[in-house]
Amino acid sequence: MNGGRLRSVAAVVGLSIQEGVRRRVFLAVLVLTAGFLALYGLGAHFAFRDVDEFAAGEPKILDAHAFTGATIFGMAMFATLFLGAVLAVFLTLGVVRGDAESGLLQPIVVRPIGRTTMLLARFGGAAALSAAYVVAVYLAAYAITRATGDWSPDHLLGPALGLALGVAIIAALSLLASTVLSVTAQGIVVFMVFGAGLIAGLLAQIGNAINSDSLHTIGRVASWALPFEGLYSASLHALISGTSGLTGVVLQLGPFGGSEAAGPDLILWSFAYLLGVLALAAFVFSRRDL
Amino acid sequence: MAPVLAVKELNKRYGKQEALAGIDLEVGAGQLVGLLGPNGAGKSTLTKIACGLVRPSGGSVEVLGQPAGSPQARAALGYLAELFRFPGWCTADELLRFHQRLVGSAGGGAERRELLDLVDLAAAAGKRVEAMSKGMQQRLGVAQALIGSPQLLLLDEPTSALDPVGRRIVRQLLEELRRRDVAVLLNSHLLSEVELICDHVAIISGGKLVKAGTPQELAGPGAVEVETESGVKTFEGAVREDAPRIVAELVAAGERVYRVEVRHSSLEDVYLEAVGGETG
């Protein structure tokens, strides 16, 4: 990428960030996230305290403390992915068709920046912010879990990176949707795709619990078709991959059922998927009359 | 000298609808060309093809010899759309700064001040777009299109939201651009404005170029109208210099003359005749 294009990309990303600051989007996100983390801290504190009281004096067949830590942190991770997905979708809302219909896009794309670079700049900005956001919230939730219950996941950074890649994929899907759909339709479609991925994960979890190959297969296929779900599932698995014994078994039957380790295939597929979605978005955008 | 904008046999179809059907048009350096036509005639489509927003179905459009839509062509032009919107939270100065970065203009604050001054918005540099009137936004749009000193300016209805003072500002600006050798293609419904400032006029109707020429060529010779005792006599094709002779001949023939009027065929007459009363 030459200096001119780089400067244009920086200008577009800078404008998006400036808008976020000026419109107080980031402030609202910050305040709401602080609220979420405060509630999470309160919940984690009471969960650990009550479980420790409840399990005191009982024979230690199940590590109730570890079970509680993994469960609430897994839930925090789900909330983090959801918030990250919301941010990714809103940062890419109406980027192509919506902005073209309102007349915001034309003055920008007639400049030498070009359509593909503009699209990649918008993706880069949205993906970077969303990814940084989920990593920050994940680490904050981890710090709270550690402080309130002295519990740590078996792997710390892998799940954070999995979530970050997951929201980047959601941002790319949202951008692709923006090339053909109006703003409202784009939002609805992307959230429905996100929900479909999570439901597929839930099906895999149920399939795992009742030992149904069909449900498990559906979950696996959905994980590959919508890799953000596969990455989330793998991130969930990484939290407890080293937990063995009855605690590990119970976690697999319960909230972590259906989660699977991310092999190199999933990671490679996720990157290829991301590039494929961006290439398709750029192609559709390049053919579009504005 | 090669034209700044060269349109050759340009076609555009939207499904079965033909928006442009073989348009030929050229705009040279320092030339101000007015593009007229009823709504839906294809004026905006032509302008959008010239700046790469719409892909042609056939024919070619070149900007300084480069295909329209190519990075080199886009770098040479400035554009103001008929329906445009700028981020409401941006100030006028921030918007121009953003476009300077997109174009790679090294003009800095001096260029921004000069452009805001040209469109009479110097005092509104720190004003947010959302706090501006539609007319101010349109003038800001003209300033935005001039960032980076383009050699070709494509303006689609740039004065539609302006009051008479705003229109005069834009008119003076366009005259200044002509002095600076900038080529301008101006889409407008305001015939009087086009007649006043354009060197060349092209009238499009139903996607076809139906008339083109200088405003004087298009307006034609007009007529001399004389009111006499026996009624009103019209001498088609006669000009102002013919009036004394006509009157002398009528008086010599025993007519009593009450009124003499030299009539010009206005651009409006030519336009209405060319488009056949069509409206979009």
Can you list the positions of beta strands (E) in chain A? none
Question: Which tops the pLDDT comparison, A278 or B16?
Answer: A278
Q: Return the SS3 of B66.
A: strand
B5-216 fold: Rossmann fold (3.40.50)
Which sequence spans correspond to the domains of chain A?
3-287
CB contact under 8 A, B74 and A112: yes
**Cα gap B106→A104, rounded to integer Å:** 24
Among B53, B71, B87, select the one facing A106 at the smallest CB separation.
B53
Interface probe with A: pick from B102, B129, B147, most Cβ of A within 10 Å:
B102
Note the pLDDT of residue A262. Answer: 65
Q: Which of A55-69, A85-99, A118-132, B233-247 has the lowest mean pLDDT?
A: A55-69
List, edge to edge, every strand of the sheet that includes B231-236.
B231-236, B223-228, B257-263
Provide the ipTM.
0.81
CB pairs under 8 A between A and B: 70
| Unique residue bearing structure tokens 């794309």 | A109
> Tokens 């000298």 label which residue?
B1
Nearby residues of B40 by Cβ (< 8 Å), 6 or more positions away: B280
Cross-chain Cβ contact B98/A11 below 8 Å = yes
Most confident of the ranges A19-28, A38-47, A212-221, B216-225? A38-47
Q: What is the pLDDT of residue A254?
A: 62
DSSP conformation letters of B82-103: SS----TTSBHHHHHHHHHHHH
Cβ–Cβ under 8 Å, residues B8 and B59 = yes
Please give, rounded to a whole number of angstroms, the shortest distance from the CA of B90 to a CA of chain A: 8
From the centroid of its chain, how far is CA A235? 10
Give all strands (DSSP E) within chain B, no chain letters. Answer: 5-14, 17-27, 32-36, 58-63, 66-67, 77-80, 152-156, 183-187, 200-205, 208-213, 223-228, 231-236, 257-263
User: Within 13 Å, how many C-alpha atoms sit on residue A200's CB side?
Assistant: 23
Question: Which token pair is A250?
Answer: 């119970």
Mean pLDDT in residue range B247-263 = 90
Give the residue on B whose Cα is nearest the Cα of A98.
B85
pLDDT at A207 over 90: no
Question: How confident is residue A255, by pLDDT bands cut at 50, 70 and 90?
Answer: low
The chain B residues in contact with chain A (CB within 8 A) are: 48, 51-55, 71, 74-75, 77, 79-81, 83-87, 89, 94, 98-99, 101-104, 141, 144
Q: What does each C-alpha distance from A204 to A210, A213, A221, A259 come to in angstroms?
A: 10, 9, 10, 8
Q: Rounded to two decimals, what is the model's pTM?
A: 0.84
| pLDDT for B25 | 94
Phi, psi angles (nearest 5°) of residue B200:
-145, 145
Asked if residue A258 has pLDDT above 70, the reply is: no
Q: What is the largest CA-CA distance in chain B?
A: 76
The pLDDT of residue A53 is: 79
The predicted structure's pLDDT at residue B279: 64
- For residue A251, how far is the Cα from the chain centroid? 22
Separation in Å, CA of A135 to nearest CA in chain B: 29
- Per-residue pLDDT tens over the stretch A151-162: 888 889 999 999
pLDDT band at residue A219 using 50, 70 and 90 as cut-offs: confident
Residue keyed to tokens 């909230």: A255
Say how many C-beta atoms besides its own lie within 10 A of residue A264's C-beta: 7
What was the pLDDT predicted at A238?
A: 87
**pLDDT given at position A174:** 96
Beta carbons of B75 and A112 less than 8 Å apart: yes
Mean predicted lDDT score pLDDT of chain A: 88
B67 vs A contacts (CB less than 8 Å): none
Q: pLDDT (tens digit, 9 = 90+) per residue, B66-98?
A: 999 999 999 999 999 998 999 999 999 999 999
Residue A107 and residue B79: Cβ atoms within 8 Å? yes
Statement: residue A245 has pLDDT above 80: no
- Looking at residue B257, what is its pLDDT? 92
pLDDT at B270: 81
Q: Per-residue confidence at B99, pLDDT binned at 50, 70, 90?
A: very high
Q: How is chain B split into domains, by residue range? A: 5-216, 221-264
Q: Grade residue B153 by pLDDT with cuts at 50, 70 and 90.
A: very high
